[in-house]
Amino acid sequence: MSLLDYLVVLAVLAIALTALAILGLRRLAVLRRDIQLLDQRLDHLQSAVDAVISGASGMDRRTGRLEQRVQEILVRVDNMAEASQAARPYDDAIRLGRQGASAQRLVDELGLSRSEADLLIMLHARQERDA
């Protein structure tokens, strides 16, 4: 092979390497752009995750307050139920007193003390007379 043949081969190799370098640089530019887009998407997703975490934290506090409020309401309902049960003999006594029952009947049937029965008869039997 002559010197001219070596120079031709060398020139072809130089052109091929230059073409490969240009293609590599183009691919590198595309990859850098893709990385930049992925970084932007990652930032957006991080912001979304932060917002969800913040909202969940607030939701947790609100849920805790609601659970506490529900407990308070349940206690009040239980207290009202107990008060209603405790008032039931008096409701029945008032009804019987208005119907003309004696104080002794209230003591015997409803378990009221004699003074409670006398007071209920006095108050409610009188209401019926006054009405």
**CB of 93 within 8 A of CB of 110?**
yes
Q: What is the pLDDT of residue 72?
A: 92
Residues 6+ apart with CB under 8 A from 12: none
Q: Distance (Å, rounded) from C-alpha 25 to C-alpha 130? A: 108
Burial 36-50 (b: 16+ CB within 10 A, else e): eeeeeeeeeeeeeee
Q: What is the pLDDT of residue 85?
A: 67
Q: Is 13 helix (H, G, I), strand (E, B) or coil?
A: helix
State pLDDT tens for residues 44-78. Answer: 999 999 999 888 888 888 888 999 999 999 999 88
Structure tokens at 100: 């003309």
Q: How many CB atoms lie within 10 A of CB 117?
A: 24
| pTM for this model (two decimals) | 0.42
- Angle of helix 3-98 relative to helix 114-130, nearest 10 degrees, comes to 80
What percent of the chain stands above pLDDT 90? 58
